Structure 1
Amino acid sequence: MSGTPQEIFRRYVHAGTVSRNADALAECFTEDGVLEAPLVPAGAAFPGRLVGRAAIRTAMTAYYERLPETDDRAPNLDKTACVLHATADPDVFIAEIDTVFDGDGGGEDTTVSLVQIFRIRDGKIVRLRDYFSPDLVS
């Protein structure tokens, strides 16, 4: 499967953030793909490092099952902004994201900024480093 960085990123976001489909998320990765969240402390609900498509599938299934079906913290995709940056390496791109969560009961929206570094091969993610505030997954 091939794809532009935009297509790969769109598939990844839809599989994870939008649909919470661990099978689809795992399929975004190569068989030996790595998903890392370097800022997440050991023992957190969200896994800090997963190696291999099977491990990604298993751990993310368990993580998604812990989340409430209706999540008050679900991002508002219409307000969320994302910029993809090309690098000198054609197999690496960076996603700069400002995720917006609607304010509770009419309160102010909350914006959470994060950065994701993607290394790709043949349209799949070989390594993804996801830098976000660990508070989001605690």
Structure 2
Amino acid sequence: MSAPASPADLYRHSLRLLLDKNIPAWVDLWAEDGLMEFPFAPRGRPERLDGKEAVAAYMRDYPDHIELHDFPALRIHLTTDPETIVVEMRGVGRLVQTGAPFDMTYIAVVTVRDGHITSYRDYWNPLAVPETGTDFTGSSR
């Protein structure tokens, strides 16, 4: 598949890949030097992932922890920078280990250059996670 034409299209495609549990294809959307940041990361969790390899390692076991069903209420806001979007959404599904519902609200600031994600700041709420024992990716804490 050729790269989607806009940051919004690429982001929508990335969500489809997550729903399909296709983490390798999701990681392929990243630039080699892409940066993923978690400004509200709790102590002991990564605040920054430098490079595609670090993102891949972080996301590798995602489907083993969270089974996503949908991203309702997806809103993509364009910015004055045509390469950057602001995304509001919910991720809903279930925790694989317990079967408990998963419902997390996200705000992300995403920059795409040359068809690849170069920056992804993920403002997820770590206070919503203690009862699940998982972080953004579903990785055990």
TM-score, normalized by the shorter chain, greater than 0.5: yes
Deviation at 1:23, TM superposition (A): 1.6
C-alpha offsets along residues 91-115 of structure 1, whole Å, 9 cap, x if unaligned? 111111134458xxxxxx8854221
Deviation at 1:123, TM superposition (A): 1.4
TM-score (norm 1): 0.72
2:90 aligned residue: 98
C-alpha offsets along residues 60-109 of structure 1, whole Å, 9 cap, x if unaligned? 21x427x34xx5xx4442x711111000111111111134458xxxxxx8
Question: Identity over the aligned pairs, expressed in percent?
Answer: 27
Deviation at 1:39, TM superposition (A): 1.2
Alignment of 1:1-138 (within 5 A): 1-15=3-17, 17-44=18-45, 47-61=46-60, 63-64=61-62, 67-68=64-65, 71=66, 74-77=67-70, 80-100=72-92, 112-134=104-126, 135=129, 137=135, 138=141
| Higher relative helix content | 1
Distance, in Å, in 1 between the alignment partners of 2:69 and 2:54 is 29
TM-score (norm 2): 0.71
For 1:82, the aligned partner's letter is L
- Provide the secondary structure at the position in 1 that maps to 2:58: helix
Unmatched runs of 5 consecutive residues or more in structure 2: 95-100, 136-140
Unmatched runs of 5 consecutive residues or more in structure 1: 103-108
1:105 aligned residue: none
**Aligned residues, how many?**
122
Distance, in Å, in 2 between the alignment partners of 1:43 and 1:133 is 15
Is the Cα–Cα contact under 8 Å of residues 112 and 118 in structure 2 kept in the other structure? Answer: yes
Distance, in Å, in 2 between the alignment partners of 1:99 and 1:54 is 24
RMSD value, Cα: 2.6
1:106 aligned residue: none
Deviation at 1:2, TM superposition (A): 4.9
Is the Cα–Cα contact under 8 Å of residues 81 and 99 in structure 1 kept in the other structure? Answer: no
Q: 1:22 to 1:99 in 2, by over 3 A?
A: closer
Is the Cα–Cα contact under 8 Å of residues 35 and 120 in structure 2 kept in the other structure? Answer: yes
Runs of 4+ in 1 over 2 A off after TM superposition: 19-22, 98-102, 109-113
